[in-house]
Structure 1
Amino acid sequence: MAEALAVVGVVASIVQLVDFSTRVVSRLDEFYSVAKEVPKSFRDIKTELPLLATTLEQLKGAIDSTSIADGSKKALVPVITGCNEQVAQLDAILEKTLPETKDSWRTKGKKAIVSLHHDAKVESITRTLRNYIGILTFYYAAASSTLKPLTDEKLCKIRQWISAPDPSTNYQKALKLRQADTGLWFLESDAYNKWKTAATSPLWLYGIPGCGKTILSSTVLQNILQHCQDDPGKVTAYFFFDFNDLQKQDPEMMVRSLLCQISQQSIKIPASLDALFSSSENGQRQPSTHALLEALRSMLQELPQVYIVLDALDECAQRVELMERLKAMAGWQL
């Protein structure tokens, strides 16, 4: 019953937002009919709002046909709420700047000048809405996707070509060594919850060898995997460096592993990975580390939310190269 109510809530929010967006577009049309000219920032938002309405209508259709999982519906709630907030801010700005037919030319001129002062705010709203539209489009694409990553022939061929080591063996080994409730103190900490919820928030854990960092990493990873379950917009990738495995001491293998894991959770063959494969003569030669990193960056940009967990950095044999890779990734600020 609760799940049914949640679905109704999402659908009702979508219908309300579509109606709100349509009314704001009508106000912009009225703005143009009276002022005969619309500031550039308002013209941009006028393009985005119909796109937002169309995307929302598509999502509503997918929800009505039950092709969107419950986890995705739950993830849509804050996005729709955020869209509503942005459209409401835009509506308030229009209230202050929209000239009316009865206004004198002087009043219309004053309102036109006032509208210019809101350009920066309107541009910020436009950028935010574009981001939300991208997320909404992703979820609609996920609902419509027919890709089966584990059996898709081309994707399997690409992953075989990347030939990355499997970090799940390290994860499973650490889980077996972990005692019940180990690391709960960390999962309940402010630092962890900030990392988990805030965008672009790297968190560095350090300690002497043997103090339990890998066990703690497995605790974090288990928590994140559960958090991302049933939501295609939340993706987790991880890597365990390992003194006992030469392949798991190489920072390039870390990048290759992240590429493979993200591709396994994708709703389509990532365009950047497909392009990399094609430019390497369909797997006849290997790409550079820079090309692999660029493909990873592009793949991450296509996803609403990605968690990356890296363990035992001190067991990497090429630490300078590793730090260069991590510095580059942190610098993306996605």
Structure 2
Amino acid sequence: MDPFSAAAGIAGLISLGVQVTGSLVKFYTSYKGQEIDATRTTAKLQTLLSTFQLIQATLQSRTFQPNEQDLIKNIESSIHQCDELIHELEEECKKCEKASATSINATIRATGRRAAYPFRQSTLQKLDEAIGEILQILSLALDVLQLRDHKNIQDDIAELKSLLEVVRATQVSATIRTWFNAPDVTINHNAACAKRHPGRGIWFVKGSAFKNWLTRDNSFLWLNGFAGCGKSVLCSTAIQYTFRHKRSDPGVGIAFFYFTFNDESKQDESAMLRALILQLSGQLSDPQTDLARLHGSYSTSVPPVTLLISHLRQLVQKFNQVYILLDALDESQREQVLDAIETMLNWSLTRLHVLVTSRDEPDIRDSLSPLEDEDVTMRNAEIDQDISYFISDQLNTNRKLRKLRAYHDRIQKLLAERSQGVFRWVECQLKSLMECPQSEYYLDQCLQSLPRTLDETYERILCSINKSWIEDARRILTLLCFSSRPLAVQELIDAVAIQLHEPAGLNLRRRLHDADDFRLLCPGLIDVGAKVNNETHVDSDGSKEIERIVPTLRIAHFSVQEYLESDRIREQQADAFALESASAHAEIAEICLVYLLEPGLSSGTLDQTALEEFPLARFAARFSGCVGSGAFAAVYSASGAFGVWVLAGIHHSNLPPAPAYSPPPPPPSTAPVNVESVLDTPPRGSAAGAVTIATTTTTVDRSFPTPDDEEKEEEEEEALDEAFIPPLSTAPAVMTQSRAGRKRAPTMKALEAEKAPKRGTGQGKGRGRGRAGREAER
């Protein structure tokens, strides 16, 4: 027996089941609210439809192998038992279509509310019996499929592992990788893959738009949708299918990048380009030569963006085909990133294929200017079907939701109807239902009071937080929204334990225990993730690089931060949680400063022992927000010597003991601080010269500059840069490029410009060729 033709036969019958059941659901649902009671039958039909759809998705998403004939026979035998029953449903469906609403209502009035066909008790009972029998048979078929799919899940895991090995470029030397400092986006890819469920996104990767993108020369595709509709998960599915398309062909390169709203190291064009270059370099037979040449020219800094773009083009030309996938473009520093993407597309390389995802924002649409078949909007029936699969999967696999098995039909139907294409909304409601007692009374209360929108959902979550926990919950959200990088659980524990009011300091009694405590304080708003730390260990066999997985905490979804920063929250009951960028950065700066003043930390050296005792120390010393928010100006003017020490800590991991901190005088002083004299002074309690930092003799004026002093101020900043040139491996995540080619902290004006909404040119030039030019190329 040909397994492929047999599987196609099964698929045809399942497709008929989906069509017929869907029509019956639509018919009976249309009478909701009238004097006709078919609620139970409708709910059962909805469950049957979900089961048909789940089997259909499973069949579509897997490829049967020639050695799976026994599996196909079992499934075929089970499903063909439904053949007669499905055709019975088809006959009922045809009868329903003939019975118009007018004739049904007229019959009801004439008979004094006695049910007319197809609402007679005997008809509904017959339907219920048929549905129950089909469900019992299909559940067996689904069990067979899913049991065998355990092997396929293991295959998917192996495939994911292979993909990550390809893009991690481990064959590139540790020295080069450390210098290049490319963000590790495999963490984001793993997180997105973890949210996938069977069948999700099949409509996209099996559709014509994606297939054309895979095969057309110089192809482009834009997947867009509103916040919470599942773009990142769909992008991860596209990455996996692209990797399958590549197979083991060394002439095909694949690279991807996830822009991340809460990680500043994954927001600019330089980070994107460095990640793409490193991933593609690792797929070449000689990955080292070109990168080594770059390293030779820029050993003390990251190459400029123009050179990175040029190098990426050279890399693309070394492959037969290159696929680049970029997720969450709207979470990036858009103006610069859009310029970089436009440059890439203007190369007009037949071998290059670019796919991006984002919200549908005017400036993004104006810059990309997609053709009709390059524009895929995630607001369609397929998304609703994906959500239905997701709900069904969660109800059947989540331990806390299985306890509500008796009410699964109602939950499935209600959530699917109200989701409006928003996965994130469904996730939040399912988490709420996990806490519902096993009682029909409580379930009714829960379902009847479901919030209508994401905003209402977040407002309800925030308002439900215990009043005595609000201060800590607000600080957690502030730190996770505005920190320059993801915070490890241990770092966040100490950040929350900092007491800012008198007596200021680290209150050990306020230390939380683990990630579960944070989830308790901010339910549904944060997630636990992980980051990979590469550490070099030296033993008798020499130095070895070891990967260490560090648990981190992050905001659960971009829509959470967007809501907390919006004007909408200020008009709701959750206004106590409203966040604002400048004040948030100032608060984090204050937390960092108080932490650095801890006696056990400021009186010693920032070595490994100190880092274990004070896990937030490295972050506090390097927090770029202190500089960018203007908060550092206050720290600096508070004490010249201490201010310079903090500045050095931003750039260096090994600090001398801190100079004494003294409160600032009431009026601003114009007395200069000599950087050289401060750093040349032997630290307290240590031998002279124990820490050496290259400096130049520079005087920093602490008075506020006038417009006439701008040029002088810029020269002083350049000189200060030279005094504190950070090692590349420990450079802060967000920096701008100075004229001298060194990294310099962004100004407040630059940060405000980045935060401001970007607008397009309005000229619709898109990829520099215009619509006519792109159509002509085809």
TM-score band w.r.t. shorter chain: 0.5 to 0.7
With over 3 angstroms needed to count, the CA separation of the structure-2 counterparts of 1:310 and 1:151, relative to structure 1, is closer
Residue 278 of structure 1, CA deviation: 2.2
Residue 246 of structure 1, CA deviation: 1.2
- Structure 2 matches for 1:63-74, cutoff 5 A? none
Match of 1:304 in 2: 320
| Aligned residue identity for 2:340 | R
Residue 312 of structure 1, CA deviation: 0.4
Which digits, 9 at most, give the CA deviation of each residue in 1:22-50, with x for residues without a partner? xxxxxxxxxxxxxxxxxxxxxxxxxxxxx
In the alignment, does 2:265 pair up with 1:247? yes
* Distance of 2:279 and 2:296 partners within structure 1: 20
Q: 2:337 aligns with which of 318, 322, 331?
A: 322
Q: Is the 8 A contact 1:276 1:295 kept in 2?
A: no
Q: Which structure has the larger Rg over C-alpha atoms?
A: 2
Q: 1:174 aligns with which of 163, 173, 192?
A: 192
Percent of aligned pairs with the same residue? 39
Which digits, 9 at most, give the CA deviation of each residue in 1:218-276, with x for residues without a partner? 11011111222311111110000111211111221011100111111111136543332
With over 3 angstroms needed to count, the CA separation of the structure-2 counterparts of 1:294 and 1:309, relative to structure 1, is same
In the alignment, does 2:293 pair up with 1:275? yes
Q: 1:197 aligns with which of 192, 206, 215?
A: 215
Q: Is the 8 A contact 1:174 1:218 kept in 2?
A: yes
Residue 193 of structure 1, CA deviation: 0.5
Match of 1:165 in 2: 183
* Distance of 2:282 and 2:225 partners within structure 1: 32
Which digits, 9 at most, give the CA deviation of each residue in 1:40-94, with x for residues without a partner? xxxxxxxxxxxxxxxxxxxxxxxxxxxxxxxxxxxxxxxxxxxxxxxxxxxxxxx
Q: Is the 8 A contact 1:276 1:291 kept in 2?
A: no
Q: 1:225 aligns with which of 230, 243, 262?
A: 243
Q: Is the 8 A contact 2:171 2:287 kept in 1?
A: no
* Distance of 2:260 and 2:267 partners within structure 1: 6
SS at match of 1:235: strand
Ranked by relative contact order (alpha carbons within 8 Å, sequence separation 6 or more), the top structure is 1
SS at match of 1:286: coil
Residue 150 of structure 1, CA deviation: 2.5
* Distance of 2:177 and 2:265 partners within structure 1: 16
In the alignment, does 2:300 pair up with 1:284? yes
Q: Is the 8 A contact 1:272 1:298 kept in 2?
A: no
Match of 1:209 in 2: 227
* Distance of 1:332 and 1:231 partners within structure 2: 24
* Distance of 1:151 and 1:324 partners within structure 2: 31
Residue 284 of structure 1, CA deviation: 2.4
- Structure 2 matches for 1:45-56, cutoff 5 A? none
* Distance of 1:274 and 1:240 partners within structure 2: 26
Residue 151 of structure 1, CA deviation: 4.0
| Aligned residue identity for 1:150 | T
Which digits, 9 at most, give the CA deviation of each residue in 1:267-307, with x for residues without a partner? 11365433322222xx2232111111111111111111111
Q: Is the 8 A contact 2:171 2:282 kept in 1?
A: no
Residue 159 of structure 1, CA deviation: 2.2
Match of 1:150 in 2: 170
SS at match of 1:204: strand
Q: Is the 8 A contact 2:172 2:288 kept in 1?
A: no
* Distance of 1:269 and 1:220 partners within structure 2: 26
SS at match of 2:265: helix
* Distance of 1:328 and 1:270 partners within structure 2: 25
Which digits, 9 at most, give the CA deviation of each residue in 1:82-135, with x for residues without a partner? xxxxxxxxxxxxxxxxxxxxxxxxxxxxxxxxxxxxxxxxxxxxxxxxxxxxxx
Q: Is the 8 A contact 1:165 1:248 kept in 2?
A: yes
* Distance of 1:214 and 1:201 partners within structure 2: 20
Deviates more, 1:318-327 or 1:267-276: 267-276
| Aligned residue identity for 2:242 | I
* Distance of 1:221 and 1:233 partners within structure 2: 17
Q: 1:264 aligns with which of 273, 276, 282?
A: 282
* Distance of 1:213 and 1:285 partners within structure 2: 34
TM-score normalised by structure 2 residue count: 0.23
- Structure 2 matches for 1:5-44, cutoff 5 A? none
Match of 1:78 in 2: none
Which digits, 9 at most, give the CA deviation of each residue in 1:140-163, with x for residues without a partner? xxxxxxxxx63454xx32222110
With over 3 angstroms needed to count, the CA separation of the structure-2 counterparts of 1:152 and 1:254, relative to structure 1, is closer
* Distance of 2:177 and 2:284 partners within structure 1: 13
Q: 1:235 aligns with which of 250, 253, 264?
A: 253
- Structure 2 matches for 1:79-118, cutoff 5 A? none
| Aligned residue identity for 2:213 | W
Match of 1:109 in 2: none
RMSD of Structure 2 on Structure 1 (CA): 1.7
* Distance of 1:183 and 1:262 partners within structure 2: 26
* Distance of 2:293 and 2:216 partners within structure 1: 31
| Aligned residue identity for 1:205 | L
Match of 1:89 in 2: none
Match of 1:331 in 2: 346
SS at match of 1:195: helix
SS at match of 2:197: coil
| Aligned residue identity for 1:186 | F
Match of 1:43 in 2: none
* Distance of 1:219 and 1:157 partners within structure 2: 32
With over 3 angstroms needed to count, the CA separation of the structure-2 counterparts of 1:250 and 1:298, relative to structure 1, is same
| Aligned residue identity for 1:322 | V
SS at match of 1:205: strand
* Distance of 2:305 and 2:279 partners within structure 1: 17
Which digits, 9 at most, give the CA deviation of each residue in 1:173-195, with x for residues without a partner? 11111111111111111111110
| Aligned residue identity for 2:307 | A
* Distance of 2:272 and 2:191 partners within structure 1: 18
With over 3 angstroms needed to count, the CA separation of the structure-2 counterparts of 1:199 and 1:159, relative to structure 1, is farther
Match of 2:204 in 1: 186
| Aligned residue identity for 2:313 | R
Unaligned runs of 5+ in 1: 1-148
Unaligned runs of 5+ in 2: 1-168, 350-778
Match of 2:309 in 1: 293
| Aligned residue identity for 1:250 | D
